[in-house]
A and B are shown apart, each in its own frame.
Chain A
């Protein structure tokens, strides 16, 4: 069965600290896609990144970076030098099979000024 686990329900860090959000997935499919979305207090989910199962290259975009490791079925997300505007709920999602999607339960991130 497919599953996405975001074990960290809630994290609080002080502004400018680095923070890593964990995502562990389960699937038997060899072709799949992993996503991170951000849901700020306004409610609209915003796309952050997509990775396919054949591309294990890590990616950096500004203060954001992603570490994809198939060996541990993990797709972790790090925010460097966090800012108050990073406060949101972050969701990891898995797209698999014949166009199916499952989201994790999300991690609520509080950046304290």
Chain B
């Protein structure tokens, strides 16, 4: 399978715990994006990487959120001290070039914070 993969697919956690999600993009794609999607809404941009460099962060990304892409390959998104409002689907996408090109999305990680 050469598509974008995300792990885990589902995560249930208690408020205050830390969680980490992983995204493996399509191998030749140098751009990697993270989005958050809540019920009945479209994806909201969180951050993106060009290779290993994090180039843009949305105001939605509070200090409790951190993302990395070591060596420009897979990426991780960590949420510290989770809150119930963090419950959402977290989507990862990759592309060959900028946002103006087609993005390939992964299946998402659904986070439920109890």
Interface set of A (CB-CB < 8 Å, partner B): 4, 9, 33, 37, 42-47, 50, 52, 91, 93, 95, 99-106
Q: Which B95-114 residues have a C-beta within 8 angstroms of A?
A: 98-108
Q: Which B58-114 residues have a C-beta within 8 angstroms of A?
A: 89, 91, 93, 98-108
* B50 to A, closest residue via Cβ: A99
The answer to whether B102 touches A91, judged by C-beta atoms less than 8 angstroms apart, is: no
The answer to whether A100 touches B106, judged by C-beta atoms less than 8 angstroms apart, is: no
* B58 to A, closest residue via Cβ: A100
Neighbour of A45 across the interface among B44, B55, B105, CB < 8 A: B105
Neighbour of B103 across the interface among A4, A43, A47, A52, CB < 8 A: A47
The answer to whether A103 touches B106, judged by C-beta atoms less than 8 angstroms apart, is: no
Please give 18 more A-B residue pairs, beta carbons under 8 A apart, in addition to A45-B103, A95-B99: A9-B40, A33-B99, A33-B100, A42-B107, A44-B105, A45-B43, A46-B105, A47-B102, A50-B101, A50-B102, A99-B56, A100-B56, A101-B99, A103-B42, A104-B42, A105-B40, A106-B40, A106-B41
CB distance from A23 to the nearest CB of B (A): 11
Residues of B with C-beta under 8 A to A100: 45, 56, 99
Interface set of B (CB-CB < 8 Å, partner A): 3, 40-45, 55-56, 89, 91, 93, 98-108
Residues of A with C-beta under 8 A to B100: 33, 50, 52, 95, 99
The answer to whether B98 touches A45, judged by C-beta atoms less than 8 angstroms apart, is: no
Neighbour of B91 across the interface among A9, A45, A102, A106, CB < 8 A: A45
CB distance from A8 to the nearest CB of B (A): 13
Number of A-B contacts (CB under 8 A): 53
The answer to whether B45 touches A47, judged by C-beta atoms less than 8 angstroms apart, is: no
24 contacts between A and B (CB under 8 A): A43-B107, A44-B107, A45-B43, A46-B105, A47-B102, A47-B103, A47-B104, A91-B42, A91-B43, A95-B100, A99-B55, A99-B56, A99-B98, A99-B99, A100-B45, A100-B56, A101-B45, A102-B45, A103-B42, A105-B40, A105-B42, A106-B40, A106-B41, A106-B42
* A48 to B, closest residue via Cβ: B102
Residues of A with C-beta under 8 A to B91: 45
